[in-house]
Amino acid sequence: MAIKDRMSGNEAVAYAIKQVNPDVMPAFPITPSTEIPQLVSNYIANGEMDTEFIPVESEHSSMSATVGAESAGARSLTATSSCGLALMWEELLVAASNRLPLVLALVNRTLSGPININCDHSDSMGARDTGWIQIYAENNQEAYDNFIQAYPIAEDPRVHLPVMVCQDGFITSHAVQNILLEEDDKVKEFVGEYKPEEFLLNPGKPMAVGPYSVSNYAMEAKYNQEKAMENSGKVILEVAERFKKTFGRGFGFFEEYKTDDAEYIMLIMGSAAGTAKQAVDDLRAKGMKVGVLKLRVFRPFPADEIAKALSGCKAVAIMDRTESYNGHGGPLSSEVPAALFRNKVNIEAVSYIYGLAGRDFMVETAYEIFEELRDVVENGKKVKQHRYIGLRTREEQ
Amino acid sequence: MAGYNLKEVMSKPERLTPGHRMCAGCGGTIAVRAVLRALHEGDYAVIGNATGCLEVSSFMYPYTAWTDSYVHNAFENAGATLSGVETAYKALKKRGRLPEDAQFKFITFGGDGGTYDIGFQSLSGAMERGHDMVYVCYDNGAYMNTGIQRSSATPRFADTTTTPVGKESTGKMQSRKDLAAIIADHDVPYVAQTTFTKDFKDIHLKSEKAIYTEGAAFLNVMAPCPRGWRYDTADIMKVCQLGIDTCYWPMFEVDHGKWTLTYEPKKKLPIEDFLREQGRFKHLFKPGNEHLIEQFQQEVDRRWEDLLYKCSR
């Protein structure tokens, strides 16, 4: 039986780590993910788990040591946020290209500058092309559930890629919510034993990791890595299906909230999806047909599935919690319209930037966005693409 | 020092096999082979490597010259990477996932660029945490892989591609960092500085001690680079001998805090004997530059005196 409890997102992920009891965890403190290594250290100190913890001297070293440990044949992980992720950027690429199935518990926080400790998605979005699977959570329960699914996805022989399990800094990581925790033995059974095929510490079967590769070979390595990312979609769904059978909670690439007959849909990731759902409930009570598409899996990007899910609506609001500084929108507002275009789905799409560096996303703001979409469709209102919402001063139109 | 038999040691199977692409006469590979000869037969090893000449020339896909497990990660993180491997060993042993009798040793190699400079933090962290591993710096005194740029291991006045000698320049302006002393100050169980001598006894015994002393160990090996130093390739042993006889490269060890000189020249030679062999110091022998050699000598003397003091305590 699942156990009812109350926990913050950080506590939920640390609890999942305790249950999985991986072999090695190097980590370095950074707000707001610091609690995760702290809680793990406490579990170890109290004999509740026996993972080998390495208190490294930087995030570059935490990912370097994680790469070393995973290559050696140990199930490994680390946790970080923001600048910590930026410092380990080089190593993110090494982990993925060496096809190491390690896991990173990421607590999303904005990147400098100005230095700020609050949530946006600029850290993980900055690492979106490093070859990692990225899964985002709306709340503590999803952070917990996603972590439990991470190793089965990463370690699948069809995948062999690292997984970033993301939750929103403070909003999810520090806010205490109700949660259903699963029993230890069931979690361990779901995750299974780690049995790598090749590893450094295999006596009598030496292995070499991290070659120099000339142009005659390197491109194939990159192609195979992309193929693994493509394969991972199927595996993510299989693992989600098994999770549903075992624990009763279902997951897909995204969650469709009241989208069946929706004319206007907000596409959003992370904790703000909860706010968007509230707005949908309120507007539906007034007779407006609106819905939310909450993206859970950003890498691999489920382009065709998103296009299909949006094909029946009249307009979509694409919500980016990060800036790309490219002059025309955030990452979602580049990738979603591309998916629509490829699939010949011709609907209105407006890109919004919200919630940077911890700026609140309010239900009222979501109302306005839905109303603006309606205005665009019904009255032909011309709106600026790449709109900033929630600024202190009104954006120049 | 008893029990060292040159013939026996040299007859051991090579753990870095021929066929790699390092330059003929490269000091780096001589250092690697000398260190690996100190591994006891039957012991497994995982070899780490910072990016550099050694890595790109010994593990070029799909070939490897390493007979042991080997991991290259990046330029600046050989210390952290091997600390992860060593911790994995602890974890897997503890959990019964490795055969009881399988003993692994952990040795990582880095050039001076990857060790003194960009990998310094990672090295310091790994040493301070006390992982049971040996970090071996093959110190050739510059970034040789990218074409002889200065590092903090480059001696003063050396002509490198980023400290070129010219009308307004006499080469590198700073003296080299004393890395072995810095790592000794981390209070690790074993630190030693060595190079190649005719019988390879010093490097062999220090390597064995480093590998089989529990905890973190550091070896600093002067490994001349014929391209960067511009001496006649065949003269590497002569250059090394002059390095130690001029006290430019003293050989010592720090065993659990105790400093010991392992070689004292019968007659301390003037530094110009070492410098004269090398094209990177050619400008020092131009008339009018005598004072530069004098400054170099003063620096060598000061450091030598300091070392003698440490070893006398």
Q: Is the pLDDT of residue B1 over 50?
A: no
**Chain A contact for B175, CB < 8 A?**
no
Chain B residues whose CB is inside 8 A of the A70 CB are 84, 88
Residues of A in contact with B73 (CB under 8 A): 64, 67-68, 91, 94, 210
Distance between CA atoms of residues B57 and B196, nearest Å: 22
Q: What is the pLDDT of residues A220-258, one digit of tens each?
A: 999 999 999 999 999 999 999 999 999 999 999 999 999
Q: What are the extents of the domains in chain A?
A: 3-247, 254-388
Contacts of residue A393, Cβ cutoff 8 Å, sequence gap at least 6: none
Q: Compute the mean pLDDT over every residue in chain B, rounded to the nearest whole number.
A: 97
Beta strands in B118-271 (DSSP E): 134-139, 165-166, 169-170, 190-194, 217-222, 252-255, 258-261
At A351, list the tokens: 């890109």
Nearest to B294 by CA among B270, B310, B311: B270
pLDDT at A114: 96
So what's the pLDDT on residue A396? Answer: 59
Q: Is the pLDDT of residue A13 over 90?
A: yes
Question: Residue A219: pLDDT above 70?
Answer: yes
Distance CA B239, CA A334 (A): 61
Q: What is the pLDDT of residues A117-175, one digit of tens each?
A: 999 999 999 999 999 999 999 999 999 999 999 999 999 999 999 999 999 999 999 99
pLDDT for B31-55, tens place per residue? 999 999 999 999 999 999 999 999 9
- Point out the residue among A52, A67, A218 whose CB comes nearest to the CB of B87: A52
pLDDT at A199 over 80: yes
C-alpha to C-alpha distance for B117 and B153, rounded to whole angstroms? 8
The answer to whether the CB atoms of A71 and B122 lie below 8 A apart is no
Between A374 and A397, the more confident residue is A374
Q: Comparing A3-247 with A254-388, is the CATH topology the same?
A: yes
pLDDT in tens, B108-130: 999 999 999 999 999 999 999 99
Q: Which ipTM value was assigned to this complex?
A: 0.97
Q: B6-312: which CATH number, 3.30.565.10, 3.40.190.10, 3.30.70.270, 3.40.50.970?
A: 3.40.50.970
pLDDT digits 0-9 by tens, B205-217: 999 999 999 999 9
Specify the pLDDT at position A394. Answer: 72
Alpha helices in chain A (DSSP H): 9-20, 35-45, 59-72, 82-87, 89-97, 122-126, 140-154, 184-191, 215-247, 272-285, 303-310, 331-342, 363-379
Q: Looking at chain B from residue 6 to 45, which residues have their Cβ under 8 Å from any Cβ of chain A? A: 44
Tokens of residue A89, six digits: 């950027």
pTM of the predicted model over 0.95? yes
pLDDT at B282 over 70: yes
Q: Is A146 on the interface with B (CB under 8 A)?
A: no
Q: Is A250 on the interface with B (CB under 8 A)?
A: no
Prior bond of A32 cis (ω within 30°):
yes
CB contact under 8 A, B69 and A201: yes
CB distance B205 to B182 below 8 Å: no
What type of residue is B52?
A: G
Question: Quick check: B74 and A91 CB within 8 A?
Answer: yes
Site from B22, B69, B103 to mutate, A interface, most A CB atoms within 10 angstroms: B69
For residue B2, the model assigns a pLDDT of 56
Q: State the fold for domain A3-247.
A: Rossmann fold (3.40.50)
The residue extents of the domains of chain B are: 6-312
Is there a contact between A44 and A51 (Cβ–Cβ < 8 Å)? yes
β-strand B134-139 against B217-222: which pairing, if any?
Answer: parallel
CB contact under 8 A, A203 and B102: yes
Kindly report the CATH number that applies to the domain delimited by A254-388. 3.40.50.920
Fill in the amino acid letter for B7.
Answer: K
- The two tokens of residue B140 are 């050739």
Cβ–Cβ < 8 Å for A110, A177:
no
A-to-B residue pairs, Cβ atoms closer than 8 angstroms: 170
In sequence order, the 6+-apart residues with CB closer than 8 A to the CB of B127 are B79, B135, B183, B186, B188, B216, B218
Per-residue pLDDT, averaged over B70-86, amounts to 98
**Per-residue pLDDT at B277 exceeds 70:** yes
Is the pLDDT score of A395 beyond 70? Answer: no
